[in-house]
Amino acid sequence: MPFTGSCCQQIFCVELKNWILNSSPNAQLLDEAGNVVKTFTLASDDLTYWQSGSVVIFRVHIRDDSNESYSFKRVQVFGQMAPEASPILVIDHTLEQAYTKGASQILDVYIYTGIQDVI
């Protein structure tokens, strides 16, 4: 019996998640001008995915409880196939508006990105 589409999607997603976890730091926030304002290293629990028909949804969770202040409008996530490989841009998500984190605030962001027709 041949592989099903959902099987191939799950294999793809496991590999993509592993690539992201291989890179450190693996996420960054950028301001409206494209300058990096903050970098993060995501853990396995910060990356989840599920299948909905032919679409795979990746959820990226970024949390920052530092006393830093910054504004951001874009989130980038990087992956790395192997430790000796160069990091590649996996997700480049521009938000509809800029958001500001104040020194006394906690940033708790969830980014949802869909991948259409994975196979």
Which structural domain range is residue 83 located in? 5-116
Other beta carbons within 10 angstroms of residue 106's beta carbon come to: 10
Which residues neighbour 83 within 8 Å (Cβ) at sequence distance 6 or greater? 22
Residue 37 has pLDDT above 90, yes or no: yes
Contact 81, 64 (CB under 8 A): no
3-state secondary structure of 18: helix
Rounded to 5 degrees, what are φ and ψ at 81? -65, -40
CA angle 69, 76, 17 (to 5 degrees): 125
Count how many domains the chain has: 1
Range 18-24 average pLDDT = 93
pTM of the full predicted structure? 0.86
pLDDT band, very low/low/confident/very high, at 50 (cuts 50, 70, 90): confident
User: Which amino acid is residue 96, in one-letter code?
Assistant: E
pLDDT band, very low/low/confident/very high, at 12 (cuts 50, 70, 90): confident
